[in-house]
């Protein structure tokens, strides 16, 4: 294997009032490697160990999930998926702009790019999430033993009005990984970057789920309980406000009778499960109620909306088709409609549709559906319960390949 690239100081970061460093490194050194380089895997191994053995970290499921993700066994599985890493190198410097209200996405954004072989400047969320503090403490401790990663990584935050910092990072970056709403993404895209730099954009998306009525009705008690837990996780873990949180549920197949029975049971059970497992604030319910009123007023035909004790609102959207992004959805508000055939998904699956999580439908059916209908949207089809699992292939990007370049030797 090639040795990691030579160290060159890339950017001296100027002082700024709002600029805060969260890593001990101040200036970024360029450090390029092959994807899945030994040192980086070794670092992640220690990092993972230190996270999973940290007492404070245990209280944060998202941090623990991240810790598990970095384990050598997982990284090895991922590495085996790539057969062309010998002739690949990281693009260079990656500049990450993480979402401000999701605690752990910045961490995944960083490790994907680290594994692809890049140096990283990561702008972390400005909101003081406790798990970010714990992450940074563990990172700063662990990275002491890995000087090359230490020199080539900084975690910072600064005010978006410090445009010159964004410009400085953009001018020097070979890749920008931009998370955010459509408006903020386009603001960043207007900031000039290197001619050949790559923008990886995670902008506003939405997602949905599909459930086969017969398959759900056939579950035994234990399986059904597991299913409720999975549906709950997909909807509520990120306050139903992540791109991959389902906002619409498609009910596939079944008779009128079997559908009504299982549908009523499911929502009653999910709302009861969330009553026990989700701490909802009055303002969230008030805002859902107001959104429900807005949705009613805007729809041309009658839509019944049920409040299920406040935890879960469900709205039937079968009576008139509306684009899914015209609804204001979060904190437990589900749109639903029945379909007889997968082809009826087509009007809903537009460019903004990201994840379709499923239950009771086979991979083969989806493959056929994709081949036949060639939908313009949907980047990810995954079992219900895993909608929020972040992966190295995300939003249609293979991040290892996107954040590295191939060197052709002939």
Partner 1 sequence: MNFFSEEFFKEPFSLSKNDKENYIVTSSNALSKHHYNKCPEYRRIIESLFDDKVDADDLPSIPFIPVQIFKNFDLLSIKKDQISRTMTSSGTSGQAVSRIFLDKKTAFNQSKILNKIVCDFIGSERLPFYVIDAESVISDRKSFSARGAGILGFSRFGKGREFILDDDMEISIKRLEEICLANKNKKILFFGFTFMIWQHLLLPLQKLNKKFSFKNAVVIHGGGWKKLNDLEVSNNHFKKVFKEFLGINNVYNYYGMVEQTGSIFFECEFGNIHTSNFSEVIIRDPISFEELPHGESGLIQLISLLPESYPGHSILSEDMGAIVGEDDCKCGRNGKYFEIYGRVKNAEIRGCSDTYQNT
Q: For the segment 30-69, give every residue that binds partner 1 (CB under 8 A).
A: none
Q: What is the 3-state secondary structure (H, E, C) of 291-344?
A: HHHHHHHHCCCCCCEECHHHCCEEEECCCCCCCHHHCCCCCCEEEEEEECCHHH
Among 137, 171, 239, 350, binds partner 1 (CB under 8 A): 239
* Residues 169/122, Cβ–Cβ less than 8 Å: no
Q: Which string of x and - marks every residue 135-174 that binds partner 1 (by CB under 8 A)?
A: ----------------------x-xx--------------
Indicate the residue among 131 and 263 with the shorter CB distance to partner 1: 131
Interacting stretch for partner 1, rule CB under 8 A, among 102-110, 193-201, 219-227, 377-385?
102-110
Q: Which of 292, 335, 384, 399 binds partner 1 (CB under 8 A)?
A: 292
Q: How far is the CB of 89 from partner 1 (least distance, A)?
A: 28
- Cα–Cα distance, 331 to 238 (Å, whole number): 8
What's the closest the beta carbon of residue 203 comes to partner 1, in angstroms?
8
Secondary element (H or E) of residue 42: helix 38-52
> Residue 297 or residue 409: which is nearer to partner 1 going by CB?
297
Binding-site size for partner 1 (CB under 8 A) equals 58
Torsion angles phi and psi, residue 343, rounded to 5? -60, -25
> Which residue in 309, 326, 362, 368 binds partner 1 (CB under 8 A)?
309
Q: What is the dihedral of CA 284, 289, 291, 294, to 10 degrees?
A: -160
Largest CA distance in the chain: 69
Least spacing, CB of residue 232 vs partner 1, in Å: 15
Show the binding pattern over residues 241-280: x = contacts partner 1 (CB under 8 A), - = does not: xxx------------------------------------x
- In the complex, least distance from residue 309 CB atom to partner 1, rounded to whole angstroms: 5
State how far the Cα of 256 lies from the Cα of 278, in Å rounded to an integer.
31
Q: State the helix-helix crossing angle for 72-80 and 38-52, rounded to 10 degrees.
A: 140
152: tokens are 């080539």
Q: Which of 24, 281, 343, 362 binds partner 1 (CB under 8 A)?
A: 281
Closest distance of CB 282 from partner 1, Å: 3
Of 29, 33, 31, nearest in space to 9 by CA: 29
Rounded least distance, CB 319 to partner 1, Å: 10
Rounded Cα distance, 224 and 338, in Å: 20
Please, which residue, 141 or 159, has the CB nearer to partner 1? 159
Residue 304 CB coordination number (10 Å): 10
CB of 375 to partner 1, least distance (A): 22
Q: Which of 307, 339, 346, 381 binds partner 1 (CB under 8 A)?
A: 307
CA distances from 324 to 131, 237, 329 (A): 32, 21, 10
Query: Rounded to 5 degrees, what are φ and ψ at 103?
Result: -60, -45
Beta strands at 246-252 and 333-339: parallel, antiparallel or unpaired: parallel
Q: Given the complex with partner 1, which of 346 and 393 has the nearer CB atom?
A: 393
Closest contact distance (angstroms) between CB of 168 and partner 1 is 16
> Which is nearer to partner 1, 151 or 271 (by Cβ)?
271
Establish if 202 lies at the interface with partner 1 (CB under 8 A): yes
CB of 93 to partner 1, least distance (A): 19
Distance CA(277)–CA(150), nearest Å, equals: 39
Burial of 365 (0-12, 13-18, 19+ CB in 10 A): middle
Residue 86 near residue 3, CB atoms below 8 Å: no
Q: Which of 6, 302, 407, 409 binds partner 1 (CB under 8 A)?
A: 302
- Residues 113 to 142 in contact with partner 1, rule: CB under 8 A: 125-127
Site residues for partner 1 per CB under 8 A: 97-103, 105, 125-127, 157, 159-160, 178-181, 183-185, 187-188, 202, 204, 238-239, 241-243, 280-287, 289-290, 292-297, 299, 302-305, 307, 309-311, 315, 330-331
């Amino acid at each position: 294997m090639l040795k990691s690239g030579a160290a060159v100081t890339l950017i001296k970061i100027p002082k700024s009032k709002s600029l805060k460093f969260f890593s001990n490194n101040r200036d970024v050194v360029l450090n390029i490697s092959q994807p899945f380089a030994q040192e980086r895997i070794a670092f992640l191994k220690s990092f993972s160990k230190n996270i999973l053995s940290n007492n404070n970290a245990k209280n944060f499921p998202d941090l623990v999930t991240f810790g598990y993700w970095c384990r050598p066994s997982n990284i090895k599985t991922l590495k085996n998926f790539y057969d062309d890493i010998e002739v690949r190198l990281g693009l260079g410097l990656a500049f990450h702009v993480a979402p401000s209200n999701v605690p752990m996405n910045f961490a995944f954004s960083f490790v994907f790019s680290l594994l692809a072989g890049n140096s990283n400047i990561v702008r972390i969320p400005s909101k003081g999430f406790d798990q970010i503090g714990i992450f940074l403490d563990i990172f700063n401790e662990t990275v002491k033993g890995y000087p090359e990663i230490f020199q080539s990584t900084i975690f910072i935050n600064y005010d978006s009005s410090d445009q010159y910092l964004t410009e400085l990072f953009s001018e020097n970056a070979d890749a920008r990984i931009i998370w955010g709403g459509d408006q903020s993404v386009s603001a960043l895209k207007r900031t000039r970057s290197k001619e050949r730099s790559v923008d990886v954009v995670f902008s506003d998306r939405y997602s949905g789920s599909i459930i086969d009525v017969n398959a759900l009705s056939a579950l035994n008690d234990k399986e059904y309980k597991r299913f409720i837990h999975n549906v709950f996780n997909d909807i509520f873990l990120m306050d139903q406000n992540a791109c991959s949180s389902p906002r619409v549920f498609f009910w596939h197949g079944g008779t009128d009778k079997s559908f009504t029975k299982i549908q009523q049971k499911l929502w009653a059970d999910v709302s009861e499960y969330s009553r026990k497992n989700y701490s909802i604030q009055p303002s969230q319910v008030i805002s859902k109620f107001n959104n429900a009123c807005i949705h009613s007023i805007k729809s041309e035909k009658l839509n019944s909306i049920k409040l299920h004790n406040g935890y879960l609102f469900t709205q039937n959207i079968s009576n008139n088709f509306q684009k899914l992004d015209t609804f204001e959805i979060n904190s437990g508000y589900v749109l639903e409609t029945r379909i007889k055939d997968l082809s009826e998904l087509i009007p809903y699956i537009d460019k903004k549709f990201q994840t379709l999580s499923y239950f009771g439908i086979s991979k083969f059916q989806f493959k056929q559906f994709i081949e036949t209908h060639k939908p313009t949207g949907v980047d990810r089809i995954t079992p219900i319960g895993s909608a929020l699992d972040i992966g190295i292939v995300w939003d249609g990007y293979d991040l290892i390949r996107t954040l590295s370049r191939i060197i052709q030797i002939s």
